[in-house]
Amino acid sequence: TSKSLAKTNKDLTGKIDKKKYANKDLTGKIDKKKYANRHCNILLIDDLYSTGATVKACTEKLKEDSLIDNVYVFTVAKTRT
C-alpha cells in the first residue's frame, strides 16, 4: 500500500487539514528504503496547482537522496493567473 504525504479529513470536501500539517516536519513520511536499490519514477497527484510551491517542495524532497529518475505531476485543476 502507498502512503500519502498528507492525509485528508474525513469530511465530504476532502480538504487537506492544513492547520495540522502546516508546520510539521514530514521527514521520513516517504519510505525511501523501498526504492533505495533501483531507479524509479513517481507520479505526484495534487488537487490544485496554483503557485507550484507544493509540487516543487515535494519533488525536491523526493529527489533528495534517492534514485528517483522522474517525478510526473497530475493535477485536477489550475488556478487562473
**Alpha-carbon distance 6 to 18, whole Å?**
9
- Name the amino acid, one letter, at 55: V
pLDDT digit string, tens, across residues 2-19: 444 444 444 434 455 556
pLDDT of residue 8: 43
| CA dist., res. 11 & res. 79, Å (int) | 23
| Cell numbers linked to 66 | 534517492
What pLDDT score does 29 carry? 62
So where are the chain's domains?
18-78
For residue range 21-76, what is the model confidence (pLDDT) as tens digits? 555 665 556 665 665 667 788 888 888 888 888 888 888 888 776 678 888 999 88
Distant-in-sequence, close-in-space partners of 81: CB < 8 Å, separation ≥ 6: none
Q: What is the value of pTM for the model shown?
A: 0.52
Strands (E), the chain: 40-49, 68-78
Q: Which three cell numbers stand for residue 7?
A: 492525509
